[in-house]
Amino acid sequence: FEMGKDGYDRVDKKKKKGKEDINDLKKELDMDWHKIPWDELCSRLETDTNKGLTQSKYEEVFKREGPNRLTPPKTTPEWVKFCKQLFGGFSTLLWIGAILCFFAYGVQTTKFVEPPKDNIYLGVVLTFVVVVTGIFAYYQEAKSAAIMDSFKKMVPREATVIRDGKTSVINAELLTLGDLVELKGGDKVPADVRIVSCSSFKVDNSSLTGESEPQSRGPECTEDNPIETKNLAFFSTNAVEGTARAVVVSCGDNTVMGRIASLASSLSNDVTPIAIELEHFIHIISAVAVFLGVVFFFLSLILKYEWLEAVVFLIGIIVANVPEGLLATVTVCLTLTAKRMAKKNCLVKNLEAVETLGSTSTICSDKTGTLTQNRMTVAHVWFDEKIWECDTVPDQKNRNFNYGDPTCAALIRVASLCNRAVFLADQEEKSVLSRDCQGDASESALLKCVELVLKDEASSDTITFRENHKKVVEIPFNSTNKYQVSVHELPDKSQNLLVMKGAPERILQRCNSIMLNGEVVDMPEDSEYRKKFNDAYETLGGMGERVLGFCHCLLDVEKYPIGYAFDNEEVNFPLEGFTFVGLMAMIDPPRAGVPGAVAKCKSAGIKVIMVTGDHPITAEAIAKNVGIISTTSKTVECIAKEKGVIVEELSDDDKKAANAAVVHGSKLKEMEEHDIDQLLVNHEEIVFARTSPQQKLIIVEAFQRAGQIVAVTGDGVNDSPALKKADIGIAMGIAGSDVSKEAADMILLDDNFASIVTGVEEGRLIFDNLKKSIAYTLTSNIPEISPFLFFIILSIPLPLGTVRRQFRHLCFSFSFPLSLSK
């Protein structure tokens, strides 16, 4: 290993190929760009954080590193793919039958002046069957090159770069290491970059980590893990808001996204269970056919037939044992089932995946967008010393608080006014929770919550409410202050109202009173209300929810009259001494049908595992909500909390009592292959959190080593390697990225995990039907072989010519199996 100019610990690709390259890509990122001082970084890249690269240095580095783009993998030529379909598996047996027919015709030409043409016709029929079926299967196969093509769509087209102190807009492929770039909300990050400076800069990392909410960026290194640190932004992720200046530290294939692309396109698809079964069946049929053929070849010689006639008998019996209609029967059965599944929102890309889903014993499911709705929603509010539930699923009423309560009305007022999110136009026909918003995820969640309350209980809406409370001044949220504050005129223009929201502990620090049942109560430092606040904060946080605090203050009319010149730069109004109103807690809630689907999977003997890039607390909360971790199960952390000790102090018996586990990616990184295998054996219910794309792949491989048939669901780029490696990959049709759809074998058109249950039912049904179809196909061999036996032994003439017999066989091979497929 050697540290390259791109800061990654990498392997010389000229020395290691194939499997070793894949093993290298599976390793976790090993880079130090986010940790080293700026002086060292600038020295290593020979750049400047103010002026960028010089033109001469840029040309030198670009020549060495090449364009900032993903290198397409070596693809299998289309003619090779076609030949594999034409000559592989069961087709081989049909080709052998056809060749034997031609050979038999050749033998007959040496004996007869005008030889019968039955064998040559039969050879042509067999050739036709195998060619047509091969062409059909070729078009059904997903093309591996499409995965890389879908990654290419993610590449930004342009980038704003500073070189020699001059700013210009260039093609993103022309960037190189050390380039100084400028980013703003709406841009795609053109390479892996380290932030030099920024202002309220946030990026959407959901395609990379699975986090629903935009992540703030800054110049400080906050974590050793490069994926989690705040001073790096990654290639092809979206800048949501703010501005930033950054230095390019990695380009093209060496970016985090580039490594995922290389890993996904390097993985080969394993043989499906049905293909294994059919191959085993072919071996048995071939052995039986050859055995019977050889037996009757020698029997013919014993009965004084000429050797040429004995050879014709040998070939005839072997061909009669070949189930010509089986290949077409299997294809038709799978196709009809795939069409039925498409009507139930399961789109099958690979026909054999239909049966594979029925054989599935473990489902490794992503959280964001698969088990959950992929939108932040207010799940709970806390006011008047109580936690209340909110509506989280469209068209379902869960809210148990009343806008008529004065404290509730005050909380809704603050959440509505201290909020910059707005609904996009022309969405009146949609339910409030399903509407799209302009604004970050948290503010959009607050907007939908207050809109529901105002619409249902006040016969109003947020737009009208804001118009009646004219905004006078605002201080936007920033990562330093961790609050947002704005001042509004009351509807009667009598007084100015200050509203504030932000991190709960920061908001509480700025309050000296609290609203209870509509009345303002003093709240000194040692107040019991502060303890109740902390209890509520911990409870909501423990449920994996993101909590915000809210407060307000009616400004003194004499000091801050209507028309007062507020200044948000040189702040000339109070920022403390407020009245605390309440808390609002948000989460990406589960989809409505998921708990029932998980319960069905468990009752069918299928283990459901969560594998997510999100935080462990959030992952565990969702897992418990949907039933992946049952109410009776305990993790070692739960047992330790009950006993009032740390996990390390638990006895071995206590640890063995834990039948559920929540495993952090950092812990998984330290585990050997054997340790992972033991984890899967010892725990029935497992949640893997904060996992990288490479770790998702390792988890799938561990289950496959244990003999499981693994289905993987996912929607992001980070899921694509695991989707490709799984026995069946299932992507989301609505929220899924193009990359995940190309890597998958099946697509859920409604993005609903519950649709998988439908697929499993159909998959199990098709396996039973195929067994019956194969049994039917094989029984037809007995009447086909019998005339040959009577002809050889008793000299009874054949009732049908070979071609007529094969035509009858092909026709009747379809009718009964087709009825089974419906």
In 695-793, beta strands by DSSP E: 710-714, 728-732, 746-748
How many CB atoms neighbour CB 310 within 10 A?
19
* Locus of tokens 């003194």: 556
Axis-axis angle for helices 326-343, 802-821 (nearest 10): 20
- Paired tokens of 526: 């040692």
366 classed as catalytic? yes
How many CB atoms neighbour CB 63 within 10 A?
9
Helix (H, G, I), strand (E, B) or coil at 162: strand
Q: What's the residue count for the chain?
A: 822
- Paired tokens of 30: 């090993």
Q: Please report, as a single letter, which amino acid is at residue 780.
A: S
Per the CB < 8 A criterion, the answer to whether 285 and 278 are in contact is: no
Bridge partners, residue 348, by sequence: 746
- Cα–Cα nearest to 449, from 432, 463, 464, 467: 432
- Cα–Cα nearest to 515, from 379, 378, 382, 380: 382
Q: Please report, as a single letter, which amino acid is at residue 764.
A: R
Q: Which of 366, 614, 738, 751 is catalytic?
A: 366
* Locus of tokens 């033991």: 678
Per the CB < 8 A criterion, the answer to whether 398 and 390 are in contact is: yes
Bin 531: left if φ > 0, else alpha if -120 < ψ < 50, else beta. alpha
Per the CB < 8 A criterion, the answer to whether 427 and 435 are in contact is: yes
Q: Tell me phi and psi for residue 748, to 5 degrees.
A: -85, 110
Per the CB < 8 A criterion, the answer to whether 258 and 715 are in contact is: no
> 408-424 burial, b if ≥16 CB within 10 A, otherwise e?
bbbbbbbbbbbbbbebe
Bridge partners, residue 485, by sequence: 475, 500
Per the CB < 8 A criterion, the answer to whether 650 and 661 are in contact is: no
Helix (H, G, I), strand (E, B) or coil at 399: coil
Residue 776 CA to residue 779 CA, distance in Å, equals: 5
- Paired tokens of 153: 């769509």
CA torsion 323-325-327-331 (nearest 10°) is: -150
Per the CB < 8 A criterion, the answer to whether 779 and 816 are in contact is: no
In the chain, count of helices (H) and strands (E)? 30, 28
Per the CB < 8 A criterion, the answer to whether 360 and 606 are in contact is: yes
Q: Tell me phi and psi for residue 217, to 5 degrees.
A: -120, 155
Residue 761 CA to residue 758 CA, distance in Å, equals: 5
- Cα–Cα nearest to 633, from 710, 686, 559, 673: 686
The DSSP line for 539-552 is: HHHHTT-EEEEEEE
How many CB atoms neighbour CB 605 within 10 A?
8
| Catalytic sites, residue numbers | 366
